[in-house]
Amino acid sequence: MEALRADMFEEICPSTVLPFRIGTDKWAGMILRCLENGPRRYSELRVPLARISPKMLTQSLRALERDGFVTRTAYERAVSYELTALGRSLLEPVRALCEWAAEHFDELLDARES
């Protein structure tokens, strides 16, 4: 499996201005995208999600696990996270939201500033 890129998400990511969330978490969509190609260890997720504090990433992962979108597997020296079937079913809607956000990003920023 290919490593996650540090530049996977733009520095000014629309997730911070979108009026909708997955649950109550603005980072959930980004986490789901990181897990779409298979299970990842926490340290792997930190690479593209470096702007999220470790505490917030842990809270987001726990919320996704609680809501049934992600499973957590603990090994002797590592922990990995993987999408469930329910989490996988969100990938297409998340992709559509990303496209919508890219198309309307300037309008969202203008609305927030006014």
Q: What is the pTM of this model?
A: 0.82
Q: What confidence tier does 40 reach under pLDDT thresholds 50, 70, 90?
A: very high
Residue 66 has pLDDT above 80, yes or no: yes
Q: Please name the residue ranges forming H helices in 7-90.
A: 28-34, 42-46, 54-66, 85-88
Q: What percent of the chain has pLDDT over 90?
A: 50
69-28-83 Cα angle (round to 5): 30
Bigger pLDDT: 19 or 37?
37
Half-sphere exposure of 42 (CA within 13 A, CB side): 18
Residue 60 has pLDDT above 70, yes or no: yes
Tokens 């260890």 sit on residue: 41
Bigger pLDDT: 93 or 112?
93
**Taking all residues of the chain, what is their mean pLDDT, rounded to a whole number?**
86
CB of 46 within 8 A of CB of 57? yes
Over the stretch 100-110, which tens digit does the pLDDT of each residue have? 888 888 888 88
**Which burial class, exposed, middle or buried, applies to 70 when counting CB atoms under 10 A from its CB (0-12, 13-18, 19+)?**
buried
